[in-house]
Chains A and B, each alone.
Chain A
Amino acid sequence: MSSASAIYFVEGVLLVAIQEDISDTDILDLQEALSERVVDEAARAVVMDISALEIVDTFVGRILAQLASVSKLLDAQTYVVGMRPAVAMTLVELGMDLPESKTALSLTHALRDLRGERRG
């Protein structure tokens, strides 16, 4: 696993902090590592913090969307948190969305949402 991202397991949730200069190779490695961790830890959710990313292009967007789809098949909900406004506007112009991901403003919001789900 490269240092371009870090995975933490807290309260049944895999927290992933993506670093600013993550390369295509790094994010493909992350996709594989994370899929395995979801099963190994029986994670109920994956929270991807992309606040460090100044841009998200179609390649990175596609990997994020795939990660969410894979996680869903493995019974974990994916949250994408910390997206910058300019990144969101650019993704819309690129015609991309992240259909299997929930989005939240921050890690705190995502965890609050998850706790709400657990109560429900």
Chain B
Amino acid sequence: MIPTDGVLIGIYALIGDRDVIQVRRIAGREMAQRGTRTVQKTRFVTAVSEIARNVVMHGGGGEARIYMHSEPSAISVVCVDNGPGIADLDAAFSDGFSTAGSMGRGLGGAKRLSDALEVETEEGKGTRVTMMARI
């Protein structure tokens, strides 16, 4: 569902909260340069912010890669950490919805705001989240 080819825009360390700002700003800039509608851009950049923040807050840091795709025209962001992993993925997705106002990890919200979102996670090994938006 998410294209695996694409042009790598950059690789960004995700260590602190300033890094989260940088990644979402670059994703937003790339979308704006390609004429993406404001609502579509805001939704996806918010999803990127949720996931990038998880890497910093829950994953012990990691990195983000941003890719642009042409067939179909899309942006994808891959966030990877070597943290504790997510023990119950189903719960993590549903928590994002039911407790968005409290301590949810925002996974469910990020999925709704992306055109596609995939999670690979292994306890004790880390988590990789890939998300995509058509532009």
Q: Which residues of A contact B (CB under 8 A)?
A: 21, 23-25, 54-59, 61-62, 65, 84-87, 89-90, 93-97
Q: Which residues of B contact A (CB under 8 A)?
A: 17-18, 20-21, 24-25, 28, 38-39, 41-43, 45-46, 49-50, 53, 97-98, 100-102, 104, 106, 109, 112-113
From the candidates B41, B45, B101, B112, name the one contacting A93 in the complex (CB within 8 A): B112
Determine whether the beta carbon of A86 is less than 8 Å from that of B42.
yes
What chain B residues lie within 8 Å of A24 (beta carbons)?
A: 17, 20, 53
Determine whether the beta carbon of B109 is less than 8 Å from that of A95.
yes
Determine whether the beta carbon of A55 is less than 8 Å from that of B18.
no
- What is the predominant secondary structure among interface residues of chain A facing chain B? helix
From the candidates B21, B24, B102, B113, name the one contacting A94 in the complex (CB within 8 A): B113
Determine whether the beta carbon of B101 is less than 8 Å from that of A65.
yes
Known: A93-B43, A95-B98, A95-B101. 11 other contacts (CB 8 A): A21-B21, A55-B28, A55-B49, A57-B49, A59-B53, A59-B106, A86-B41, A86-B43, A89-B43, A93-B113, A95-B100
Within the assembled complex, what's the spacing in Å between the Cα atoms of A65 and B102? 10
What chain B residues lie within 8 Å of A89 (beta carbons)?
A: 39, 42-43
Determine whether the beta carbon of B18 is less than 8 Å from that of A95.
no
